[in-house]
Every structure is written in C-alpha cells, then in structure tokens.
Structure 1
Amino acid sequence: MHDEELILRLQRGDEWAFQLLVRRFRKKIFSIAFGITLDAEESQDIMQEVFLQVYRSIGNFRGDASLPTWLHRITVNQCLNWKRRWARRFKWLHLSADSSDDRSAAEPASVLPTPEMQMVNVQTGVQVDRALKLLPEQARTVFVLKELEGLSYEEIAAATGVKLGTVRSRLFHARRRLKEILEPLVEEQK
C-alpha cells in the first residue's frame, strides 16, 4: 500500500491502516529515538508517543512533506521534548538517565567468530555511545539522522525544521568532534 492510500485510510479512522503504519515505521522511529536519547526504555516511550500523536493529528496532515518525513519530524520533536524534561529535572546534570553502557537492550547480540572479537565490538560500541553523549544535542540529532538513518540533507532539514546549510554545518561539527574524541581511543588500542 502506498503512503497516500495509507494516509487516506488513517484519516478515515481505519484501524488496520494504523496497525500497518506501526508495523512499517516502528523500527525506524525507535532507531531515531535511540540514536538521539541513547536510552532504550525512553526510546520505546517516545515511539509510543509518536504513534499516539500521529493517531490524534492525522486528520490535520496536509501532505506538505512525505509521511516518513512527517514521522521523522514528530520523532525528533518528541526526543527534544524528552531532553527538555530531563534538563528541567536535573539542571546540574544534563545527561541521559541511562548511566550504564549496556547496549544489549537496544541491539541484538552480534554473532562474531571469537569471544575476543565480540569483546572488542562491545568496547567499541561503548566508546561510540560515550562519544555520542558528548556531542551537543543538535549535532547528535543531525549525525544520527544522516549516518545511522541514512536520511538526505533535505530530509534532515525537513525533519528538524532547520535550514539546509545548518544541517551541513552541524553534521560537519559532529563528525569533527567525534573524530577528536575517538582518534585517541583508536590509537590507544593499536
């Protein structure tokens, strides 16, 4: 079913269409939310909030953007709202509530040939997560949408509501900062 037909059915209140929407987009929405929040439980909650917001506001969908772009924008906005709530609760500590580096809740265990290689993979993932946490929120959001979700610059601009040049600038700074953070770690492991 094409997005246009799905939207029409959703606007008519078709329950099956809503279930299809959830099945089609839940992994993508979770992935975006996890990439921004770095917290699996919060990402699940955000995903539910996104679908609830879509259910409530599908009647107002004008089609100015594609359905996936609209969903991306709602997801990013929900993540930013989550960040603001945490910032208000813990003004002295602007970090995710997930202080552990356990990635297993969000990702299936990888199948690697040796336990040593598996340990290296886990350590690398932990280092990347730590590096992502050090990025400013806006830079991390753009980085996640581009590098992890594969969105185009135009799609990122539409999803975040910023200009194309700003997307490019934030992505450049995010990549440069991640390189600065991760290069010493890579050298250390050699």
Structure 2
Amino acid sequence: MGKNYKDISDTVLYYMLKGSKSESKKAFDELYRRHSTNVYTYCRKVLNNDPLAEDIFQETFTRFFEGAKKEREMTNVLGYLLKIARNLCLNEKAKKYNNKVALEDLHLPQYDVSYANIQLNELLQTALDALPKKYREVIVLREYLDMSYKEIAEAVGTTMPVVRIRIYRAKGRIRDLLAPYFEEMKDYN
C-alpha cells in the first residue's frame, strides 16, 4: 500500500522532491494541490491581469521545483512559494513600467520631464483601469507582452477579428481619456 501524501507535512514533502521520480512527482502534486490556489490568487491580485498571472503562477511552481533540487533548508513552503511569486510579479511590474511611454520622446521643452513622466504613467494606468476588462486584457497582451493577434485570440478564447476590434476600441478609449492631458501639454509649448 502506498503512502498517503495528504498526511505528510509540507516540509517533509519538500524534502521528498529530491527523491525518486515517482516520489518527487507525488510530493509535488500534493504541494501544488495545497498551495496553488493561494499562489494564483496572489498573482492575480498583484498583476490584475489573468493571462499574465497564469504565466507567473506557472513560473513560480517551475522555479520552486528547480529550487528544491538545490540544498536549502525549508521551514515554510507557502512562504517560499509566495516569495518566488512576489519576485516574479515585481519583475513583471518593472518590465511593464519600463515599457510605458517615455516622455523624452515627445520633445516637450520647458517642462519638468520627471514629473510629467510620473504623471503620464499614472494617467495611462488610470486609463487602462477604466477600460472594460475585455479591452484592457487585449491591450495589455498586445502592448506590454508583445503578443500577436493570433496568440491573443487563443489566450482569451476568441477570434482574431474580434481581437483587432477590441484593440482598436481600447486605443480609441485611451486616446479619448488622455486627450485633455495632451491638450494641456500643448499649452506649455
């Protein structure tokens, strides 16, 4: 009769990940069953982007498994998983921030660029947050993750023409929301 992995502590299961292939798989499956909901919820809340949260969630468990092969003391498996997820989410947010519009490219003389850049980033994030989910989702996948229309269609479960329309409408709404800001910027020139 085999082991009942449900009765084994997280710490013991973690050390079992270094065992035989069969034992390692069963230990991983049990740890995944116990903690996947918490890790996924964390990624979703931090990133506010379901497809990206799923990617980070999967990467978290991949890195967790790879890390288990190294010699390291473990006392809190969920804490370790959330630390990995947090670092990956922070990296993703930094990437997203760095991909936003750079005001230096707009050539706005006699204006505090650092303040304007912060303000524009905040306005852009507010505009994105104001979009309906179906528009926000596709625009983030396209502009921040550089996915093709086909990849986006597969990710959100729709057709390429629908994706194109949603992206077009999302950009239009963002333009409309940011128009007053850019009108104000023209007044400075």
Output the TM-score relative to the length of structure 1: 0.47
Tell which has more relative contact order, 1 or 2 (C-alpha 8 A, sep 6+). 1
